Amino acid sequence: MVNWILEQHGLFKTDFGHQGSIKTLWETRWKFPCTLGVYPFHDGKLEDFEPIFDFLIRNNINDPYNDAYTSAFFSIAEDLAKRGEDAESTDKALAIALYKRASTVYRLSRFPYIGTPLKREAFEKQKKVYEKGMRLWDPVMTEVIIPHKYAKEGDGKEIPLYVRMPRGSTVDKPVPVMFLITGLDGHRPDNYERTEGAIERGWATVICDIPGVADCPALKTDPLSPDRYFSAILEWIAENPELDESKVIGWGLSAGGYYAIRAAHTHASQLAGCVGHGAGTHHYIGKEWLAEVDHHEYPFSLKEAYLMKYGYKTWDELLENCQKTFSLVETGIVNMPSTRLLLMNGVDDGCMPIEDSMLLFEYGSPKEARFISKRAHMGYPEANASVWPWLEQVMATAPPKKQ
């Protein structure tokens, strides 16, 4: 039995009350974040979402995998996208804002996992509208498709990335790279603000999806597929003369934090540092934690998403096998030497237990951490104020690659 910090704070078995009720979720968990434009409503507006959730509540549509839920967002997203197209020739800033809003509406449509044909359609629509906006940004962001040179049977042959280069980057002056590793419900077209932060600092951004979600070609049932995947991406970065391979830092978000921590060990020589932000490592896929996780702050049940992400047919099969197969402790990954590694999270995280960050101090190389008291998953809103200075410090002190 784990002596959970969340239980010490009286939250481990607390039921937040929004599971199975879109009305409760909207009124108690999502409406206020929507007014602020924070997770998962980045770049969205309350006026976009109020009519959608009014419709869902009136019609008692509570299952996010029901096509009625997914399709409820389409008309408003399509209208925003059309208004963005109309504004392109007269008001570029307005067009960019409208495309971002349309993308955010599509994001909530395919939330929390792309597990139905209609959710895949929503994701494809989101990418299309997001990419229309990307080409208007200054500087632009582009999709780059690279070969998966280490693909084995079951892996896809191509890796799609979003790449954004700072102004004035040249082969004579290669730039540092923020390598962004996205999460379970946040994918490549959900990270404009972070790319802006990198641009302001003169860094490039390379964004990938994680195994088992979105467009990632890595075989989700193979625990070694992430290592092949990251080898292909990091070698592509090293071969790009405009990118400084000695200053590449991985930043893994939520479920992506697991992969950032993994890469910090398996690819230590190719990374100046990594941030495991809101990361699971071991307990998050253990029986004891998963028995209570659906009562916590995550908007919907994680069961369906985890089954599809990891490729298990039943929940009992996942409970018996997932931790043994994917835990960074069970597989011994944490015993390997690591690059610099920052662990960032809220102490009261109900999705990925804070213990999953804490236990890393018992293994391998020394680690760094910042845990935010009385904050839930990811440690927002304070977290990024600690991550960015750490990234800057690592970029400034990373030794150049030996010739």
Active-site residue, 42 included = no
Active-site residue, 377 included = yes
Residue 277: partners with Cβ closer than 8 Å, 6 or more residues away = 251, 252, 253, 254, 256, 257, 260, 344, 345, 378, 379, 383, 387
- List, in sequence order, every residue forming a beta bridge with 251; answer none if it has no partner: 180, 275
Question: Tokens 């479920």 sit at which residue?
Answer: 255
Active-site residue, 103 included = no
Q: What does 186-201 look like in DSSP terms, one character per residue? A: --GGG-HHHHHHHHHT
Catalytic, out of 348, 349, 356, 357: 349
Q: Is 277 helix (H, G, I), strand (E, B) or coil?
A: strand
Catalytic, out of 103, 225, 254, 327: 254
| Sign of the alpha-carbon torsion through 263, 208, 287, 17 | positive
Q: Are 333 and 266 contacting, i.e. CB atoms less than 8 angstroms apart?
A: yes
Q: Are 318 and 284 contacting, i.e. CB atoms less than 8 angstroms apart?
A: no
- List, in sequence order, every residue forming a beta bridge with 205; answer none if it has no partner: 164, 178
> Residue 223 phi/psi, 5° resolution?
-65, -15
Strands of the 368-372 sheet, one edge to the other: 141-147, 158-164, 204-208, 175-181, 243-253, 273-277, 340-346, 368-372
**83: how many CB neighbours lie within 10 A of its CB?**
16
| Nearest-angstrom CA–CA distance, 334 and 211 | 19
Q: Are 213 and 286 contacting, i.e. CB atoms less than 8 angstroms apart?
A: no
Residues designated as active site: 254, 349, 377
